[in-house]
Each structure stands twice: as structure tokens, then as C-alpha cells.
Amino acid sequence: MKVALFVPCYVDQFYPQVAVATLEVLEKAGVEVAYPLNQTCCGQPMANSGYEHLTHGCNQLFIKNFEAYDYIVCPSGSCTLHIKDHLHDPQQEEKAQEIRKRVYELTEFLTDVLKIASIKARFPHRVGVHQSCHGQRGLKLSQMSELVAEPFSKPGKLLQMVEGLELVELDRVDECCGFGGTFCVAEEAVSVKMGKDRIADHLKHGAEFITGGDMSCLMHLEGILKRQKSPVQVKHIAEILNSQ
């Protein structure tokens, strides 16, 4: 199994420890991981802003970097979904289509491909899970609360394997945090209010940490928490699954 690590720009620039934790979680699961050094932005910010027609160079480079691998694993639901839905290249569309089938978000890969049954990790804290919109509604990493259907959560399933970790129950399990990529720039006030509401739900239930599979959402919440001088911290799920 040849697996490549796909690291989002904001993780690379601001939270490199998340990339390291992702690598180590995969290696502990027995996976041999490669990191294509020439990878850059997947093009999602441009596409989100209405300029998908300018992402051709990003698409070509992504195909070049990742076409040789059986699986591509990313610690981000939003970037994973962008590639799954938007990777195209008129000159090599067949390759693009194949890559779209082989890209996985981290928790999706651990549960669906590796079928992890146990994790050697310890994190003795009360933890609230933020289900990012792209991960939940795009990748189907967890059930949507408006559906009359059996609940499930791939991140939750993995976190329940962590020794000492207590998952807190939230009132609104799948509410948006307000980040939304460029939405937080275009609609700053609305974005902040949504983020404050999301944090309030976690605080109400005594969470010490807020985790999730998208560091972009957690970055948004972290900024609000710091301005509120709150002791609550954010941690990407890879960091918790890699904790000792």
C-alpha cells in the first residue's frame, strides 16, 4: 500500500504539528507514508471565491504529485472534499478521476480503509467534537441531526478508543462554526457570532478541549477563545490520537 500525505496550506504554515501527528498516527497503524515535497495549495480558496477557472495549475500539480499513490490521506475534510469534487484536467481527466477516488480524510481512512479497532493513546480530558460542515455533509463523516436515521460519527468512534478521554454531549452536534473559508472574510460579524455560539455550547457542557478534523474551523474557534481569555484549547483529532 503506497500512501501519500496531503497537507493543507494552513496546516503547513500555522499548525505543522498537526501534519507531524497525522504522519505518526498513520505510521503507528503500520502504514508506510510518503510526502511529495512539491505539493502546494489544492486550489480551494480560489474555487470558494468564484475563481475555479484559475485553479488549473493547482490541479495539474496535484495530479503530478499524487498520481503514483494508492491512497492520498489529508488531515482536513474541506481540502479532501475539494479534491474529491473539483479535481479536473481536460488533458488528463482519467488520471484526475482516479485520484478523486483515492483521496481520503484522515478519520475516514482510519475507519473505512484500515478499519482501526484500537488505538494506543491517552488523553485524560473532557473533549467536545466540532463536526465541520465539509466533513459531515460532504464526506459523510458523521450523521446529520435533521435526518431520521441511525447516528454515527467516524471521529467519535476513534476518540472513544482513547484512554481517559471523555466525550461531552452538545446541544447542537452539527452546527456550523462560522468559518466557511472566505465567508469569515466577507461576513466577519456573522462569522464571529456563529463561532461564539459554537464555543458557548462546548463551554456549557464543560469541555476542556475542542477537537475536529479541520484545523481551519479550529483556528477560527481558537481565535475567539483567545480573545475571550478562555482556558479551553483546540486540538486537531490527529494530535489526540497521537497523544501518550
CA distances from 88 to 6, 52, 76, 77, 175 (A): 17, 10, 20, 19, 31
Residue 136: predicted pLDDT: 94
The C-alpha atoms of residue 229 and residue 101 are separated, in whole angstroms, by 43
Residues 6 or more apart whose Cβ sits within 8 Å of residue 235: 209, 210, 211, 218
Residue 54: predicted pLDDT: 86
Residue 186: predicted pLDDT: 85
Spans of the chain below 50 pLDDT: none
With DSSP H G I counted as helix, E B as strand and the rest as coil, what are the percentages for the chain, rounded to 5?
50, 10, 40
pLDDT in tens, 129-145: 999 999 999 999 999 98
Q: Does residue 38 contact residue 61 with C-beta atoms inside 8 Å?
A: yes
Q: How far is CA 183 from the centre of its chain?
A: 18
The C-alpha atoms of residue 136 and residue 64 are separated, in whole angstroms, by 29
Residue 11: predicted pLDDT: 96
Residue 47: predicted pLDDT: 85
Give, for 127, the enclosing helix (H) or strand (E): strand 126-129
Residue 153: predicted pLDDT: 96
Give, for 5, the enclosing helix (H) or strand (E): strand 3-5
Alpha helix positions (H), 128-229: 133, 154-159, 183-186, 188-204, 215-227
Residue 203: predicted pLDDT: 97
The C-alpha atoms of residue 16 and residue 175 are separated, in whole angstroms, by 27
Q: What is the pTM of this model?
A: 0.94
Instruction: Go through the domains of the chain in sequence order and give each one's CATH number.
Output: 3-113 (no CATH), 126-241 (3.40.50)
Q: Name which of 70, 50, 55 is nearest 3 in CA terms.
A: 70
pLDDT in tens, 169-184: 999 999 999 998 888 8
Backbone phi, psi, residue 27, to 5°: -65, -40
